[in-house]
Amino acid sequence: MTHEGEISVGIGFATGRRSFQSVLGTFIYHLEESGLLNNRNIHLNLLVAYDLTYSNTCRTDYTRIGKSVAEKLDHCYFIGEEDIRAAEDELAKKGVIPEDKKNICFGTGYARQRNSVVYTALKNGIDYLIFLDDDEYPMAVTESKDFLLWSGQHVLESHVKSLRTADITNGYHCGYITPIPYIEFDHILSEEDFKTFIEAMSNDVLNWETAKETMRSGGITYADKTILIEQKTSLAEEVNGAKFITGGNLGINLTSPERLFPFYNPPGARGEDTFLSTCLKDVNVKHIPSYTFHDGFAYYRHLLKGVLPNVLKPIDFGSEEVINRFYGACLGWTRYKPLYMYITRRSEFDAILDEMQEKMEQVLPKLCSYFNRPEFLGIAEELRKYRANAPRHFEEFEETKRLFERVKEYALGE
């Protein structure tokens, strides 16, 4: 329980990797270095929703926090499958959620894991909740003429500072943000073919121009030097009914629960941050000038030990790991675009999805040949399926929001 003038801050992870421990340790070190931990009015808590099946881990991989980290934390909350089932049963027993809907907010998958973290934070009086990803590090990288420039980032401190006047804070990302590989176009797959494919999947964030720019730099996104130097916050702009945020480097002010909404994604899809973005019309969302480096391929875990490379590896399309990740991302984009279009551009839904289907069928055989992966053809069937189910997924999203209101009230004891 905090007292007047004190702030309870939660660090939230939705993870299935034991490596989150190293990431957590680095963020804690940055808190020490900045002096924030010396502020007796700020109480630090850890909340981890973990999935044992994701990378064959066990519970102690998450709960056995090193002494040097644990002593900096007031409380630790670990949320596994049994904890989620217990919370669902409690909510159903108390009449908060109907028995047949009790797993709509919580469970497996990033959206439901994140909701479990939010619920736990609300129940335990946490004021600010900051979500971190287990493959993002508190540092920024920029290009110079002959070498790279690295800078440490006070990520958590920036969120705590800005959440005093915001409902949501979102930092920036650099490194390997997108899974789109560098592609050498040829007679099998031309640049125009790949442009057609990206345009088919495009949304208000993903488009051909940004994809082309990323490919030119080998799949690497560098931090904006102006943002780093000027250190200014900015209000998020609404685009087609959404204020875009990311699931990591994300701060949520829990002291204004009336402006708190759940994460959601269609079954088997991602985009939980994108769908939350569609709920933020009347929510104060600020972009804050703090970067994290996204190590999407686990190339640079030694960054956490202070080893700073002068060159970053380009994403090589010849790597099995890279192709697998690109294929998985394409599935995710394909599965969530129908619902996103249904929410934000309902009147154009059929025209947009017709065009998407046509472009997919035109270019998917070429991707199969180029990557030697026949499974790319299955993306067209996934599109048909998720398009047909978009109205049902929309109703499920609306139901999730309605029930989450009752869950919030219960968590807060109202």
pLDDT of residue 4: 63
User: Cα(first)–Cα(last) distance of the chain, in Å?
Assistant: 17
Tokens for 209, please give them. 């121009």
Q: What gap in Å lies between CA 254 and CA 251, rounded to an integer?
A: 9
**Contact by Cβ (8 Å): 360, 333:** no
DSSP run (H or E) holding 101: none
Closest CA to 382 of 208, 246, 201: 201
pLDDT band with cut points at 50, 70 and 90 for residue 216: confident
Q: What is the DSSP string of 287-352?
A: EEEEEEEE-TTS--GGGGGT---SSPPP-BTT-HHHHHHHHHHHHHHHHHHHHHHHHH-GGGHHHH
pLDDT at 77 over 80: yes
Q: Report how far apart, in Å, the C-alpha atoms of 383 and of each of 268, 282, 386 are.
A: 12, 32, 5
Portion of the chain with pLDDT greater than 70, in percent = 99
pTM across the whole model: 0.94
Q: What gap in Å lies between CA 365 and CA 376, rounded to an integer?
A: 8
Provide mean pLDDT across the span 293-315. 91
69 versus 207: the higher-pLDDT residue is 69
Name the DSSP class of 181. P
Q: Which domains does the chain have, with CATH numbers?
A: 7-411 (3.90.550.10)
